Amino acid sequence: MNSALKLTPQPSLYSYDRTNKLPVDYDSIFEPLLYHPKNDKKNAFFYIKADEAIFPYTDKKSNTIKLAKQTRHNINDLETVLSQYKGMSGITATANRFNGRSRKGEDLICSIMFYCDADIYKIESKKHLTKEQVITDILDHCEANNIPYPNIINYSGGGYYLKWLFLTECTKYQLSGTAYMRVEEAIIRLFAEFGADNGAKDITRILRLPGTLNPKVDRTDRLCETIFYNDVRYTMDELRYAFDKFQEPEKIKIPKPKKQTLEIVAPKPKLEGVYKKRDPSQRPAITKSNLQLAKDRYDDLKTLIKLRSGNVQHSRILFLFWLLNFKALCGATNFVDFEQDALKIASSLNFDISEWSLDDLCTLERKVIRHNRGYSTIKKQNGEHFKFSNLYTPKNETLINTFSITDDEQAHLKTIISPDEKQRRRAQKRLDLGMKPQSGEATSQPWLAIGISRRTYYRRRQAGLIQ
């Protein structure tokens, strides 16, 4: 047999073995052991966060025992420690490793995986799939896009977590927090059709611990568990290479080649001093103050909820948070009324107090207090100092991403819009003011239909022979 004549199919870069390698006696609670094996480092921790304050600690100031929501375990103790969480509700754990000081990015010891929080229940066409169908769908999607299979697929008691484990762990010098987020953003784009959560992309993220229960009471199937395991691992760089092509392409301006002029012209001093100074009396009649901007954003979020017919079940905490932030920013609430307002907004979102707690908003409340007391952050820009509120003043882009606001929805909003939408409105406004749109025959090329040249067409039309 002449094998040289046969075209050998190009082997894929990645292994696509669909065998589920979960051990027979596998217990989901020990899932972290798959990627946190014992090691010789003493200072590597795994942080656990609970919905309720259940972890006792000694408060050094008062020397009394208090309860915290967060605790940590040394990686080397996991084997003994994990089983105590089995069957508990509302337990989440870090994906990556930290030192003993905190769970902040600066205290990261190493990253060990990329993850994706896929809220499939948000996707109409996929929400009724069985777990087996979801696995197949995900693996198909990976193959179609030529990326490796995730090593772990967990059902979170609602959505799904995909985890790509690094062959070798990675320090923050090899992969910084921002670089990590860039890869995560690519993953989110790639898994958008699986409901990938835009908000879950940071290196310090905590994910629901397998073997525990999802506390959301409306779920019937609340146990978080591992449903797929694949033991072929790739290095962080290999994974990054695979995902990077799904990064949002940066908009690069390609400078157009200028027409060559024969005479040598001194380059125009385009920079400073060319634009005329504006006459302040001619300033726009309507300018947005921070106050007005915050009010408009508040209204826009309300509109957004209406546009979604109140169907914002999965982003209620986000709406609650941002509505409060903007309400405080425009002075419509203060720290005295903060809790009442929070409860009021929550109830308008059908958000029962059993599903969230005021503790979730404590950072915001602190900011409101500082805001009300007139504290402000001073920032320096171009040698000048500016004062800013302690509250959040996000970019439109941030809000659009946070709430995944579509172009159609933006069309109904006042101020939370993309630059494209803004430009569209500007063009529309000019048209409304009576400016004629450009619509010519140059594109329809009517002379072609008559079978004459463009030049003749215009000559005849000039002579009145056409039309």
Partner DNA sequence: GGCCATCCAAATGTTCAGGG
Partner DNA sequence: CCCTGAACATTTGGATGGCC
Size of the site for DNA (CB under 7 A): 61
Question: Considering only residues 23, 383, 437, 464, which one is a binding residue for DNA as defined by CB under 7 A?
Answer: 437
CB of 155 vs DNA, minimal distance in Å = 37
Binding mask 266-305 for DNA (x = CB under 7 A): --x-xxx-xxxxxxx-xxxxxxxxx--x--x---------
Binding mask 250-269 for DNA (x = CB under 7 A): ------x-----------x-
CB of 416 vs DNA, minimal distance in Å = 7
CB of 373 vs DNA, minimal distance in Å = 13
CB of 385 vs DNA, minimal distance in Å = 10
In angstroms, the CA 466 to CA 288 distance is: 53
Question: Considering only residues 18, 127, 366, 387, which one is a binding residue for DNA as defined by CB under 7 A?
Answer: 387
Which amino acid type is present at position 386?
F
CB of 326 vs DNA, minimal distance in Å = 12
**Nearer of residues 12 and 406 to DNA, judged by Cβ:** 406
Q: Which residues contact 370 (CB under 8 A, 6 or more apart)?
A: 390
In angstroms, the CA 318 to CA 192 distance is: 19
In angstroms, the CA 105 to CA 204 distance is: 6
- Residue 249 as a binder of DNA (CB under 7 A): the answer is no
Show the tokens assigned to 286.
């309507």
In angstroms, the CA 357 to CA 343 distance is: 10
Question: Considering only residues 217, 435, 448, 465, which one is a binding residue for DNA as defined by CB under 7 A?
Answer: 435
In angstroms, the CA 126 to CA 138 distance is: 11
In angstroms, the CA 186 to CA 147 distance is: 12
* H-run or E-run covering 56: strand 55-59
Q: Which of residues 406-425 bind DNA (CB under 7 A)?
A: 414-415, 417, 422-423
Contacts 24+ apart (CB under 8 A), 335-339: 335/365, 335/368, 335/369, 335/372, 338/365, 338/368, 339/365
Q: Which residues bind DNA (CB under 7 A)?
A: 256, 268, 270-272, 274-280, 282-290, 293, 296, 379, 381, 386-388, 393-397, 414-415, 417, 422-423, 426-427, 429-431, 435-438, 440-443, 452-459, 461-462
